[in-house]
Structure 1
Amino acid sequence: MFAVTATSFDAENPLAGLTLGEVSEPEVPDGWALVTLRAAALNHHDIWSLKGVGLRPELLPMILGCDGAGIDADGNEVIIHAVIADPDAGDGDETLDPRRSLLSERFPGTLAERIAVPRRNLIPKPASLTFEQAACLPTSWLTAYRMLFTRAALRPGDTVLVQGAGGGVSTAAIALARAAGLRVWATSRSEEKRARATELGAHATFAPDERLPEKVDAVVETVGRATWASSVRAVRPGGVVVVSGATTGDDPSADLTQVFFLQRSVIGSTMGTRGELQR
């Protein structure tokens, strides 16, 4: 079958390790299911994999891709939950399983004609969604959902600042937050991306270091070092910064005085559970 694989790592030129071609058909262990992909989505995770982040050299070649939707062997239209983990770990939260992985890290990913996944990772595709729409949900959109509503526990009327409006998680967060009745602010260095954020539902947009009209209840932080200081200072006393990425670097100044003196919370968030995706 045809697939897109990582065959080598290159931190400076990640696409140098990208290979397109024929690979062996997937094996289907007991308790797993074979899915014929109808659509798959690209994520920045694929670039990290090609750079050698989160993927061990001895597992190469590895089929890339975390997101996908397709048809199982029984003819059911399904969405694939990308987190491979023990469903009983973490009191039922499989994202807390220390041995968890995403598709394309230990097990072949979705950028192929067919894939084998644990049967419990299949979720019925709503008839209202196309395969292309459904394939976008399991990574960026699920991550954004968990950040907003599980980890930050935001409610209608709360104000959220989304940093780096051009990213996949940020884009999803803007749309989901607006649909849920939140007041949504977004930042980007790019005027074009700020305009796009407005189209997606942001009530107001700002340059990254621009002074905000008031403090916010929560910040969706995926950028890292470049926006960290402004994220911490943007939150009201008792508010929360929810972090799911660090694209520009993971070692900013902690700014601890701003955290403890104003009782701000910093919360990590990774992917989401099967139950959250099913919602």
Structure 2
Amino acid sequence: MRAGVVSSFDPDNPLNGLSIIDVPEPENREHWTTVDVKAASINHHDVWSLRGVGLREQQLPMVLGTDAAGTTPDGRRVLVHAAIGVDGHGVGPRERRSILSEKFPGALAERVSVPTANLIDIPDDMPFEIAACLPTAWLTAYALLFRGAGLTPGQSVLIQGAGGGVASAAIILARAAGVTVYATSRSAAKLHRACELGAIPIEHGERLPQRVDAVVETVGKATWSHSVASVKPGGIIAIAGATTGDATAAELARIFFQEIRVQGVTLGTRDELTALVNFVAYNKISVPIDSIYTLTQLPQALGKMIDGNLFGKVVIVMETQ
């Protein structure tokens, strides 16, 4: 079967290590299911893998990809939850948690094998291309908003770095839940798109009209001071990434004096993914897709992500679908 793989590491030019090659079919394992992939989506995790972060030379070639939607041998339309090893489903109770493409082959392939417990049914009217956007960025956004920040209707949130997959998903989900959303970006075009999604635009570093109940932080160093200054006393900063690096100063004096809680979030649970699918379907949420490529066009798709000139998810469809 065809797959997009990491064949070598190149920290400076990650696409140099990307190959589209034939790889062995997934092995049959008890309590695991092989899914015929109809659509997948890419994430920054794929770029980091190509740079050699989280992988070792002896693991190569490793199939990339964490997000996929497709069909099982018995015809179920399913979404794949990317976290492997949680609760020991199919891999033993002491299996260290990982995500697809770290220890087990990933989803950017014609077929992917995962623990059967990791499969989430999707509605018949949900396109595979939409479903494939949900397991990483959208699930992280859902967990940030409703578990990490504990937001409820009528509250307010600042979302830093509008335009990224997590941030744009968080804007849409928060607005659908009745939360007032402020959003920042250095890009005027991305800030305009955030406004179209229902956010109140805030220039990078600008003071908010009022402090918010929570901040969703995925940027890190470039926005951290603004996040700490923008949250109410007793509020929450929910963080799931630091694309610009760790903050130079942690602002600890303000954090303890204002009794601000900092809550880390990594992905979300299978139950949260099920809830997310239902939330998107019930509210008829439009999931923004920036562009769609075939597996053969994976280099162009990842190149677009590296350039950062996108808004929403980049989806890969299988030519064999």
1:108 aligns with 2:105: yes
1:84 aligns with 2:84: yes
* Matched ranges for 1:99-248 at <5 A: 99-202=96-199, 204-248=200-244
The question of whether the paired residues in 2 share the 8 Å contact of 1:39 and 1:70 is answered with yes
What's the counterpart of residue 2 of structure 2?
Answer: 2
Sequence identity percentage: 56
How far has the Cα of 1:98 moved from its partner? 8.5
Alignment counterpart, residue 262 of structure 1, candidates 258, 265, 274: 258
How far has the Cα of 1:252 moved from its partner? 2.9
In structure 1, distance between residues paired with 2:57 and 2:206: 42
How far has the Cα of 1:128 moved from its partner? 3.0
Report the aligned-residue RMSD.
Answer: 1.3
The question of whether the paired residues in 1 share the 8 Å contact of 2:224 and 2:247 is answered with no
In structure 2, distance between residues paired with 1:86 and 1:102: 10
1:151-197 Cα offsets, whole Å, 9 max, x none, are 11100011100000011100100000000000001000011000111
TM-score by length of 2: 0.82
What's the counterpart of residue 40 of structure 2?
Answer: 40
In structure 2, distance between residues paired with 1:256 and 1:26: 48
The question of whether the paired residues in 1 share the 8 Å contact of 2:62 and 2:105 is answered with yes
Question: Across the two proteins, how many residue pairs are aligned to each other?
Answer: 271
How far has the Cα of 1:253 moved from its partner? 1.0
In structure 2, distance between residues paired with 1:52 and 1:61: 12
In structure 2, distance between residues paired with 1:29 and 1:40: 23
How far has the Cα of 1:60 moved from its partner? 1.1
SS at match of 2:86: coil
The question of whether the paired residues in 1 share the 8 Å contact of 2:222 and 2:247 is answered with no
Letter aligned with residue 122 of structure 2: K
Which protein has greater RCO, CA pairs closer than 8 Å, 6+ apart? 2
Letter aligned with residue 65 of structure 2: G
What's the counterpart of residue 282 of structure 2?
Answer: none
Stretches (4+) displaced over 3 A: none
SS at match of 2:87: coil
SS at match of 1:140: helix
Letter aligned with residue 2 of structure 1: R
SS at match of 1:225: coil
SS at match of 1:87: helix
In structure 1, distance between residues paired with 2:262 and 2:96: 24
The question of whether the paired residues in 1 share the 8 Å contact of 2:158 and 2:181 is answered with yes
Higher mean alpha-carbon deviation, 74-83 vs 98-107, is at 98-107
The question of whether the paired residues in 2 share the 8 Å contact of 1:224 and 1:252 is answered with no
In structure 2, distance between residues paired with 1:251 and 1:159: 24
TM-score by length of 1: 0.94
Alignment counterpart, residue 268 of structure 2, candidates 258, 261, 272: 272
The question of whether the paired residues in 1 share the 8 Å contact of 2:142 and 2:173 is answered with yes
How far has the Cα of 1:199 moved from its partner? 1.5
What's the counterpart of residue 65 of structure 2?
Answer: 65
1:206-264 Cα offsets, whole Å, 9 max, x none, are 12211111111101000011111111111000001001001110243111001000000
* Matched ranges for 1:8-47 at <5 A: 8-47=8-47
